[in-house]
Structure formats: structure tokens, C-alpha cells
Chain A
């Protein structure tokens, strides 16, 4: 495929750009294979000076056009929730522009995406990709205990295609047992270590649901693996991110949840969380409500309520607190899983770590957490973030589960304003880069896919950009003081607030990202 074929028109003069919070700008519009550019005409807008807009086409979620006889206007609704309007002289030009944008923004092939073409002079490929290897994390654990080992049983991604090559498992369990346990879990996601709580030596494990099925199958290797995670006489908690009923129903489809009789040392708790389509729809409703300036107070509150976004937020924080509570207060090990173990499971394990572990609240520690618990853990970013809240396309696998995580972290930051080393600006940047980015960090669905696409060889890492001193400075919280304690948030409705930054239409806060 050639990009050139998709570009129906490369350049139009006298295009007017308007967006909330900015005076209209007139200039030249260009379409390149990955960007929409608008540079203001010299002297065209004396007060603002030269304005240049660089918009990744990948960022465009929906294109809405209105044409009249001699001109047309295009509304671009972006995945990062910004809305831009272009007034284009000439109907033909307008149609061609919109066709080009539609075609280019919906290129699905990963290898054709911008990160594979982005070559900034100041950066070297491969930098940043080795910043947070699992080996480092494992070594920290190894200094505390010998009960855990690093296994390469998934070296070829054959045991579990969505796991990374190396995983941390109980020393007492050999690779063969792991392989058998993997066959008893959806997608092969057998229980592995997610977090080691140094304070009391408890661990947080995660997996996918066990394939118990209607006939109540058992798997001795899986039972062995889970009991090896506990010391003699200890009891653990299994937190299922589905309701008890949903977990039971999953048995009919071949899944299910650990029964008390087969796993006598584990006690099951449920923290039902929404994911998939209901979560995406919640996101869409929330954005709709936020974009409707005509709403009265009552309608606004009722739309906010019916979007359920804040309820999902409360649910996620509550379940993460439950997991953290089991570890910190009950001094027990915890296994978290839902169904696939790639969405709500990761939401809970990652959030619990931010609550428990001060290391995860530093700038680099947080990046390491994202790398470990979201990217390497196989959260399917490519599927989940293919489309955002404006798209008219049929929903496939989109769901803003990672955005929900960022929102939860933002709430923690609000309740403990000195305890996170990074600020909300970093969270905003991460939100934007999951949907459209010049960097390869959030590409693909798993480490396996990243290897196939040679992402680590052919794209730059977001971390190496974020860790440049000039960038780092922007993302540090000036009030930060190291806080060794667990930060228990309040999850009362009165204590949770809407995270406005991603939702506000006003474009000014994002000038810098867009080069405006």
C-alpha cells in the first residue's frame, strides 16, 4: 500500500481552523501520510504570530463534513477528545480532504503507523526499550526471598501468547507444571507474580479465569501452583473482578472460578467491575454530556449519573483497596482475575500497587509499573484504543480501561497531593499516547506481537522521550515528598471528582503537545 494513493489532495490554501479556546486561524492545510498540518499565513493573524498545527491522523476518531456549493466545513473529533473545525474553500477540496483523512486515519496495519517512520535526530532507536526489564524487578524480589524464580517457560510465547517471555513464579513449581496449569486457564494466562509486598512478604498474583466448565474440571498442577504461592498454613484471597453470579455463569462457557473444595487455602471475594462494551458506552455517554453546553443543571447531573463513569471509578478504586487491604492488613496473598485477565485484572493489580508501594508513585517507578502491569502484561492496547468516544464505526473491542486506571490515579493524586512524584499532566500525556502516538510503546496487544512487528527495533520508546530532562520537568509534582505509607483513598461518592483535563473542550491546555 502506498500512502500517496490515499492522499486525494495534499494542500489547500486559505483554510480556517477554529477550536474552543483559540481565536480562528487562517492558513495552509497539508495532508501527509501521517499528519494533518496547518500553518498560519504570515501576517494573517498578527496577534498570535505563526501558528502551526501538527495533528496525527491516527488521532482522528470521526470526520464530519458539511458542504455548500463553494465551500465546506469539516469537524475533526479526535481520540483525545478535542474537537477541531476546518473551513475549506471549495467543495471539491473539502470532499477530497475529508476522504483523505478518513482513509489515512483508518489504516489498520501496525507497521504502517507513524512510530515506524518517526526518526527524531535527538534520539537513538533502542534507547528506552530496556529501561524496565522484568529481570530488574525480579532481582529486587530475589534479595528478599528465594521463594520465587524467573521462568522462561514462555520464551517462545507458546505457553501463553499474551504473556511476556519471562514471568515470575514460585520456585517450588517447575516449568512442566506451569505448562499444564496454563492449559487450565483462558488464553494460557496461568497465575504469576504481579507484585511482592516487601513490608510483610505477601504477594499479589494475577491470572485469567480457570477453565472449570460445566463439569467442574480440576487441574492438579494449577492447584499445586496456587498452593506453592502460599507458605504452609497461610491462607490467600482470590479476588474475582466479576460478580459471583457472572463467575458462576461463566462455567457454562467453559470458564468459571476456583471452587472452595479444590482450593481449600483460598477464600474467594468478588469485586464486580465493568469492562468491554458497557465501559466504552459509559465513556461515550460521559463525553456526550461534557460536550453539551446547552444542558441545564438537572440534565447535566442526570446525564453524568446515567453515564455511570463515576460509579465505575468508585468500583475500581474499591476493588483495588480490597486487594491492598487483604495484603496490608490481613497479611495474606492475593490472586486477582476476571475472565481474560487482561483488563479489569490489570486495573486492580496496578492500582493496588500504587496504593501500597511508594516506589510505584515515583516518576520512573510509575513508568515501570505501566511497563510491567499493562504493556508486558498483555493489555490489548491496539484493540482497546483503536477508537475513542466519537467514532461512528461499529464498536469492536474498544474500551477505555486504561483511561479508567489513569483517572483512578488522578483521584489518588487529588486525595494525596504530595504523594505522587508525577503530576496530572503526565497522566494526560499517557492518555493521549495510548490513542495516537509518535512512539511505539503502546502499539500492539502483547509482547509477542511487538516482537513480530519489531516494535523495539524500529520505533522509539515513549519513555526515552518522557525521560529527557526537558520533558521530565513538565511532569514532576513540585509538592512531592516521599511517603513510605500506604495511601488509602476515600471512595465515598463525595470524595470522587470528575477528572476534567481530558474532558474539557478548551484546547489551550494542550497547545504544547500539538505544537500550537
Chain B
């Protein structure tokens, strides 16, 4: 451990006798040592048998709060972007201050090179790294959609990012749109983000295109931009108009007109139908999440506190607005066969959310594991979603930070809840993607645009998350997914009224680290184990059946070739050896035996029950004795969940320690 510690910028590399506080039952705390390394904060428990480790990447730290010193020491609260909250008590005020100062510096790197992905080394060779980056390819994806074709082509107009520096080098545009039209249109759009293809539906030629807002002000026009929209409509011969969806609230869009921006005037563009969909801006979303997290942080809130807080935060309302926009577009494309142009202001936040939700609803491919990776590459990474600014990878303007992709990921989860058989991946997949968007452990989400990533040579210097997830795909499978299930096919048509229970609080994400709040037994893991078991047995059965068929053949041959002694001997040999393979009780029974031990039910319960015992003895005693202190001997004792112990250390260690080991490599 000692060798790991090399934090040049930190005056102190470790502090002993630090207490890690359990957030739910604050009386519970574990003593340990806090280490600061160049990349992680590590807390190692003193308990000698377990020496449980808690690792937090510096890039995950969203805020550090030093609270007033008490008799027991100086409390330090670390809030993470993956919604983990770590509360420490450091004995000496001075140490606490040192740690605080060091972390503030470490959590806010100023250069990309300081990020973890540049030092992270999973011990893969160059070829493996390159293979990893090739796992998800957008060219293949557009081919899969059916473009280029008679209506759409690749344009090299943005080859050196000369037209639009936040767009990819390769963009798909209508065939009838000349370079002149594209460049003209780009000059009439915010940040020159001209209309480009996001999704193409080959069944009916309808498409989803995206752009930024037009620079229309109160009356400005642009012939090329009008021609561009016309070209998009012409690329869908079956329809005589296109929808232009402005995902902003009307008021916001109108305010933009004063700044020379705004939205399309239906009178100037032939054959468009204009539509506002009120999704709020990044600032509203940031404060909404903040409010919701405050609710999550409440200690033993009442049901009213919780529901009021949730309503007040507006979070689910915003999620619904995004989903509704996606549903509107998916419906236009699938049912009306009409193409849609989507934009917001700059076309890199709400537009990305809405286009990717619509694609996900429309195309079952995006509901597979590979497809989902492609979707994020397509609508988020390639089209210049500003990952660096939104997720605060480098120290920057806090007003640029907003949970934009978090909201998209939650939309996917809400859909998974409603369509449990439609997605190839499970909740864990989403949670891990969210984690790595902030972790900067892989290069995928670095920078604000493809241009910046190319300049930094990300692919040569870092590893791809997709390869890492793909390698561990067994962990991310949804056992209920069936390719032939009716839910898997075609367009998803979700219920939208809140009373249909579509929108739920996502406990698994926002209280991800409060293990005590989650179901104690994982159905997903159990079903996966069953599925694997079944598959193994089926494979075995197949082998045995093959052998049986062989045996029968052999027997038949035996009868025919009765006279040839030599052959016959050989056959007998074969048949006995076959027998020995067929008769492998050890193998078979070990399979059977390993099954229950693998089922998460038993392990988990054992764990939780044991820990509950300890927890409870501690937490319940004072409660009960407090009652006896009362004169009347009567007191309302509201029961705290006996399991309130929450973070069950031994449970924690399962997944996380794996990761920890991985990281130390």
C-alpha cells in the first residue's frame, strides 16, 4: 500500500485513526486510515480480517465540505458525482485542513493530461487497445440504418472541422443538399451546427435530423437554410412536410430572438410544421438534481418529506418532458412516416437527449448492449455533447455543469421498468456507464468534441470503455431479454400519464451506495445464474446426444463388420470410453452442487442477517433505554428500520473490491 502513495501536490499522503461514518445510522462508524494518491482517495478499515477498502476517484468528487470541529474531531463530507457520499471524521483539525486543501486541488485538474485515463493501464497491448476502439463504429452504424442510399450521402464538407468545429468530420446529409447549401445553412445556425442526419428509418424513409437554432432573430432569412430543410423533406418522398421540433419552452425560444437567434418561421419555410416541446435548460436541470439529492440526503425522512421533496425538485417532471419529446418524434417517424428536425439552442444537450430517446424507442438495435454503446457514440460523443463542461472533468465554470446525460440514462431506466423484456442490458449497465462518464478512467467521454479528442490523440493514449464493458458483458445481461419477445420488436409505445406509474424515483441510482435501501436479493443475478446453468446443461445434453448417435452408428457398424476382429476391438474401446464420458457423476453433481451456492439468495441473506444482528444490538439498545428514562415510561418510539444499517460492508465488497483490485493493477 505504501508504495502507491505518491501525491506530490499533497502535503500529507495519509492520515490515521480516521472514522468513516455510516450515513443511515450515524452511531456506526469504522476506524481506519485515509490515503491520498495521485488518482484516488482510499479509506482502509482497521478491522484486521477484512481490511475493507473504499476507493474514490478524484474525478468523482463533486464537492468537499469541511464542517465545524467537534469534540470527536473534524468532519469532512465528500459528495461524489456518482451519488456516493462519504463522511469522515479526522481527529486533528490540521490534518483535516491538509486533506481538504489537497482534495480541492486533486478534484479539479486543469489539464486533460492530469486525468486518470492517461495513467490508467489495464495491461492490454497496443493491438488490444486498438481493437477496443474499433468495437463501436459509426460508419457501420449508418450502413446498418441503410445510408448512404439514394437520398442520403456522406458529406466531407466538415472534413477538417472547418464548417463546424463541434460536429464530426463525417456527416450524413440529404443527397440534394450541395456543399454550398450546407455551408450557407451552417452560417445561419448557432455555432454553425447545420441540420444533419441522426437516425434514418429505412422502412419508410423518414428520418430524424438535428441542428442548433436558426439565427433568425425577428425577421432574418437564409435561402440555403430553407433549401436545406426542403432537401430533408425531399429525402422522404412519402411525406409532403417535416416537423421542426424546438425542444425548448416557447418563452425561452422567443427570448433568444432578441439575441438574433430564435426559431423557424413557418411562413419562410415551405412545408414545415413547427412544434415547441418545453424541456427546461441546463441551469434548471442542475438545480432540480440538486434539490432531489438533498431529499436523498435527508436522514430518516417521513413519507411526506420524501414525496414533497421529490415533487418540489421537479426532477421527474423534467424526465417526463424529455420522454414525451422522444415519444412525439418516434410517433412522427414510425406512425406518420414524417421526418423530424430537432433542435434546442446549441443542439448539443436537449437535442441529444431527445434524439437518443426517440432512436431507442424506434429501433430495437439500440436496446441491445452493442446498440446502446453505438447510440451514445452517435448522438452524444460524435455530435459534440460537451462532456468536459457538463460533467466538470476539468476545473471550469460551475454554471456549465448539468446532468444532461444522466437524465437520458434515467429515461432508459424508466423504459426498462415499463418494458422489462425489451432491453438486452440491465440496470447495472446503465449505472456503470454513468459512473464512467464522470470517472475519466476511459477516454471515450473526454473533451467537448471529436476535434479536441483527435488533437489529444485519445485513441492512442487511452482505452475505450466499450471494450471494457463488452469484456464483462455477462454482468450486464438482462436475463428477461428475449430477441423474439413482442416487446423486443418494433417501436416501443410507453404509457405516459404519471398515474400509470411510468415515472418512479430511481433508488438504484441516486441511493446507489445505501445498500440497506435496496432489495436484499437480486432477481437479475439469480436468473442469470439459472440461465447459465440451463445453457451449460443443454450443451452437455447436446454432447451426450451426439455421443449417443455415434454409439448407435458404431453398434450398427459392429453388426455389419462382425467378422473383422480388429475393428471390433477398436469399437469396443470407443464405446467404453464414450461410456466413461457419459458417466461423469462428479462433473454433473458438481454442477448441481455449485448451483445453489451460486444463487445469490443464500449468500446475500446470510450476509445481511449477520450484519443486521450486530447493527441492531447497537442501534436498538439506546432507543429502548431512552424510553425507560422518561418519567411516564411512555414515548412514541418510531421504529427505525432494523436493517437501517445500510451499507453492509461485506455486501459492498463483492463488486467494488473487484473494481478496486482492477484499479490497482
Q: Is the CB of B498 within 8 A of A295?
A: yes
Q: What string of 1s and 0s marks CB contacts (under 8 Å) between A299-330 and chain B?
A: 11110110010110110001101101100011
Interface status of A10 (Cβ within 8 A of chain B): no
Interface status of A271 (Cβ within 8 A of chain B): yes
Q: Is the CB of B507 within 8 A of A293?
A: no
Interface status of A451 (Cβ within 8 A of chain B): no
Q: Which residues of A contact B311 (CB under 8 A)?
A: 298, 301-302, 305
Q: Is the CB of B526 within 8 A of A297?
A: no
Rounded to whole angstroms, the CA-CA distance of A491 and B643 in the bound complex is 9
Q: Which residues of B contact A493 (CB under 8 A)?
A: 301-303, 305-307
| Nearest CB in chain A to that of B526: its residue | A479
Report the minimum CB–CB distance from A60 to chain B (whole Å). 23
Rounded to whole angstroms, the CA-CA distance of A322 and B613 in the bound complex is 14
User: Which residues in window 259-304 of A have CB below 8 A to B?
Assistant: 260, 267-272, 289-302, 304
Interface status of A497 (Cβ within 8 A of chain B): yes
User: Which residues in window 489-516 of B have CB below 8 A to A?
Assistant: 497-501, 503-505, 507, 511, 514, 516
Q: Which residues of A contact B500 (CB under 8 A)?
A: 293, 504
Rounded to whole angstroms, the CA-CA distance of A324 and B641 in the bound complex is 11
Interface status of B68 (Cβ within 8 A of chain A): no
Interface status of B605 (Cβ within 8 A of chain A): yes
Interface status of B162 (Cβ within 8 A of chain A): no
User: Which residues in window 515-539 of B have CB below 8 A to A?
Assistant: 516-521, 523, 526-527
Rounded to whole angstroms, the CA-CA distance of A238 and B627 in the bound complex is 13
Interface status of B638 (Cβ within 8 A of chain A): yes
Rounded to whole angstroms, the CA-CA distance of A271 and B498 in the bound complex is 32
Given A293-B497, A494-B505, A500-B501, A321:B639 Cβ within 8 A: yes
Rounded to whole angstroms, the CA-CA distance of A314 and B301 in the bound complex is 11
| Nearest CB in chain B to that of A324: its residue | B642
Rounded to whole angstroms, the CA-CA distance of A314 and B303 in the bound complex is 7
Contact residue among A289, A329, A494 (Cβ-Cβ distance under 8 Å from B507) = A494
Interface size on B, residues (CB 8 A): 66
Q: Is the CB of B639 within 8 A of A492?
A: no
Q: Is the CB of B636 within 8 A of A244?
A: yes
Q: Is the CB of A491 within 8 A of B501?
A: no
Given A260-B633, A270-B634, A418-B521, A296:B498 Cβ within 8 A: yes
Which of A129-137, A190-198, A453-461, A481-489 faces chain B?
Answer: A481-489
Q: Is the CB of B520 within 8 A of A416?
A: yes
| Nearest CB in chain B to that of A486: its residue | B609
Interface status of B661 (Cβ within 8 A of chain A): no
Contact residue among A322, A489, A491, A498 (Cβ-Cβ distance under 8 Å from B637) = A322
Rounded to whole angstroms, the CA-CA distance of A491 and B301 in the bound complex is 10
Interface centre among A297, A310, A319, A416 (most CB of B within 10 A): A297
Q: Is the CB of A291 within 8 A of B520?
A: no
Rounded to whole angstroms, the CA-CA distance of A166 and B59 in the bound complex is 67
Q: Is the CB of A488 within 8 A of B638?
A: no
Report the minimum CB–CB distance from B527 to chain A (whole Å). 8
Contact residue among B302, B307, B518 (Cβ-Cβ distance under 8 Å from A495) = B518
Q: Which residues of A contact B518 (CB under 8 A)?
A: 490, 495
Given A272-B636, A489-B643, A490-B643, A289:B517 Cβ within 8 A: no
Interface size on A, residues (CB 8 A): 63
Q: Is the CB of B314 within 8 A of A298?
A: yes
| Nearest CB in chain A to that of B299: its residue | A492
Report the minimum CB–CB distance from B418 to chain A (whole Å). 11
Interface status of A417 (Cβ within 8 A of chain B): yes
| Nearest CB in chain A to that of B624: its residue | A330
Q: Which residues of A contact B316 (CB under 8 A)?
A: 297, 301
Interface status of B620 (Cβ within 8 A of chain A): yes
Rounded to whole angstroms, the CA-CA distance of A310 and B516 in the bound complex is 19
Q: Is the CB of A297 within 8 A of B498?
A: yes
Q: Which residues of B contact A497 (CB under 8 A)?
A: 504
Rounded to whole angstroms, the CA-CA distance of A324 and B305 in the bound complex is 26
Q: Is the CB of B633 within 8 A of A267?
A: yes
Q: Is the CB of B601 within 8 A of A289?
A: no
Interface status of A419 (Cβ within 8 A of chain B): yes
Q: Which residues of A contact B300 (CB under 8 A)?
A: 492
Interface status of A391 (Cβ within 8 A of chain B): no
Interface status of A414 (Cβ within 8 A of chain B): yes
Q: Is the CB of B605 within 8 A of A485?
A: yes
Q: Which residues of A contact B616 (CB under 8 A)?
A: 325, 329
Contact residue among B606, B612, B634 (Cβ-Cβ distance under 8 Å from A488) = B612
Q: Which residues of B contact A294 (CB under 8 A)?
A: 497
User: Which residues in window 429-486 of A have CB below 8 A to B?
Assistant: 479, 481, 483, 485-486
Q: Which residues of A contact B612 (CB under 8 A)?
A: 486, 488
Report the minimum CB–CB distance from A260 to chain B (whole Å). 4
Q: Is the CB of A489 within 8 A of B320?
A: no
Q: Is the CB of B307 within 8 A of A301?
A: yes
Rounded to whole angstroms, the CA-CA distance of A456 and B511 in the bound complex is 51
Q: Is the CB of A268 within 8 A of B633?
A: yes
Rounded to whole angstroms, the CA-CA distance of A153 and B316 in the bound complex is 58
Rounded to whole angstroms, the CA-CA distance of A151 and B141 in the bound complex is 77
Instruction: Tell me the B residues contacting A by CB distance below 8 Å.
Output: 24, 296, 300-308, 310-311, 314, 316-317, 320, 497-501, 503-505, 507, 511, 514, 516-521, 523, 526-527, 596, 599, 601-602, 605-606, 608-609, 612-613, 616-617, 620, 624, 627-628, 632-644
Would you list 10 pairs from A and B whose C-beta atoms are within 8 A, ordered by A residue? A267-B628, A269-B637, A272-B636, A298-B311, A300-B498, A313-B303, A329-B642, A415-B520, A481-B596, A494-B296
Besides the contacts A297-B316, A321-B641, what 19 more A-B pairs have beta carbons closer than 8 Å? A267-B624, A293-B500, A305-B304, A314-B302, A318-B639, A330-B624, A414-B519, A415-B520, A418-B526, A419-B605, A483-B602, A486-B609, A488-B642, A489-B643, A492-B300, A493-B301, A493-B302, A495-B517, A504-B500
